[in-house]
């Protein structure tokens, strides 16, 4: 299938804190969009600590990496790894033996400008942290997805990242809450979606439950969206549809309706009066 939109969109997936599910989100939302017939490329900017190839199960097909493209050792096209399971999913691998300072924001911008001509969506897998790797990852992005977990340290980092994205003039910043456990939320031992939205004050793009199937899929190198019985699979598919701008209801999350009600009462929930 060919490219659908005139100009491709660059979407960075970031979090501040490590290990919250950025790479899992990139792999699955990108696969889901590719399955829906969009031309998608995932760019791994976690230089030196690459994982996207493993999570997608493409590690044995990597020949060149992004640094070799930048340094002119190969063409961009040569470095792109095609995913055989989806008609239009490609990966631009990170380099494992280099580090984040070996590329610059301008070089990422140039690569993205080229990729935009060929692809509908360019997903950037951002490394953890707020240093050079983060600056490279956001340099060319039109939109940002902030992934967090319902946990104080992840929320604090997400808030910092949102502040930095706002300073960088991002207008489209959306939240994905990963690894939520409804049973713990109900028993009062986990922050709810409501709570997270109140703290972070950005729009919700998706809610992914804690799901053992994610570990199983990761072991196998298969995107979880290929396991249609997994709860996380539905969640990632919904995120893909919302990324396209479609309205998809959030299933079975009582707190969201509550949040919508609170929001309509005005946002000054703790104005101190």
Partner 1 sequence: MLDFLKRVFNAEDKSSKGQANNRLRLVLTHDRLGTSGLVMDAMKEEIIQVIAKHMEIEGVPEVKIITEGRHAAMDISIPLKGR
Ligand X SMILES: Nc1ncnc2c1ncn2[C@@H]1O[C@H](COP(=O)(O)OP(=O)(O)OP(=O)(O)O)[C@@H](O)[C@H]1O
- Smallest separation (angstroms) from Mg ion to the CB of 9: 21
Pick between residue 15 and residue 192 the one whose CB is nearest to Mg ion. Answer: 15
Under rule CB under 6 A, residue 32 binds ligand X: no
Report what 251 binds from ligand X, Mg ion, partner 1, none; CB cut-off 5-8 Å by kind: none
6 burial via Cβ count (<10 Å: 0-12, 13-18, 19+): exposed
Binding ligand X by CB under 6 A: which of 15, 136, 234, 237?
15
Assign 265 to helix, strand or coil.
coil
The continuous run of DSSP H or E covering 22 comes out as helix 22-35
Angle between helices 193-200 and 254-264 in degrees, nearest 10: 40
Radius of gyration of the chain (CA): 18
Quote the least distance from Cβ 104 to partner 1, whole Å: 28
Q: Which stretches of the chain bind partner 1, using CB under 8 A?
A: 151-152, 155-156, 159-160, 162-163, 166, 185, 188-192, 195, 198-199, 201, 267-268, 270-272
Tell me the three state secondary structure of residue 122. strand
Nearest Cα neighbor of 173 from 195, 143, 205 is 143
According to the binding rule CB under 6 A, does residue 23 interact with ligand X? yes
In the range 156-185, which residues lie near ligand X by CB under 6 A?
178-179
- In degrees to the nearest 10, what's the CA dihedral of 34, 38, 41, 46? -60
Task: Spell out, one character per residue from 187 to 226, where the chain touches ligand X: x when CB under 6 A holds, - when not.
Answer: ---------------------x-xx--xx--x--------
List interacting residues with ligand X (CB under 6 A): 15, 18-24, 46, 51, 128, 178-179, 208, 210-211, 214-215, 218, 232
């Amino acid at each position: 299938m060919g490219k659908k939109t005139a100009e491709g969109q660059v979407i960075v997936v970031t979090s501040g804190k490590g290990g919250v599910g950025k790479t899992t989100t990139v792999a699955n939302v990108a696969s889901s969009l590719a399955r829906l017939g969009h031309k998608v490329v995932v760019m791994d900017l976690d230089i030196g600590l690459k994982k996207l190839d493993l999570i997608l199960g493409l590690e044995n097909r990597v020949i060149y990496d992004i640094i070799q493209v930048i340094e002119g050792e190969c063409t961009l096209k040569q470095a792109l790894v095609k995913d055989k399971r989806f008609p239009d999913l490609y990966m631009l691998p990170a380099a494992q033996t280099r580090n984040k300072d070996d590329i610059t924001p301008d070089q990422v911008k140039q690569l993205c400008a080229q990729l935009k001509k060929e692809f509908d969506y360019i997903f950037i897998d951002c490394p953890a942290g707020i240093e050079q790797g983060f600056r490279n990852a956001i340099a060319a992005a039109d939109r940002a997805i902030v992934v967090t977990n319902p946990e104080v340290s992840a929320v604090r980092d997400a808030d910092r990242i949102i502040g930095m994205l706002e300073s960088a003039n991002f207008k489209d910043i959306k939240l994905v809450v990963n690894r939520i456990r409804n049973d713990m939320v109900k028993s009062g031992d986990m922050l709810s979606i409501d709570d997270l939205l109140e703290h972070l004050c950005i729009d919700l793009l998706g809610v992914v439950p804690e799901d053992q199937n994610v570990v199983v899929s990761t072991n196998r190198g298969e995107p979880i969206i290929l396991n249609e019985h997994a709860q996380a699979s539905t969640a990632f598919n919904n995120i893909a549809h919302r990324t396209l701008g479609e309205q998809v209801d959030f299933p079975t999350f009582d707190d969201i309706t509550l949040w919508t009600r609170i929001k309509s009462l005005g946002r000054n929930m703790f104005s101190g009066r």
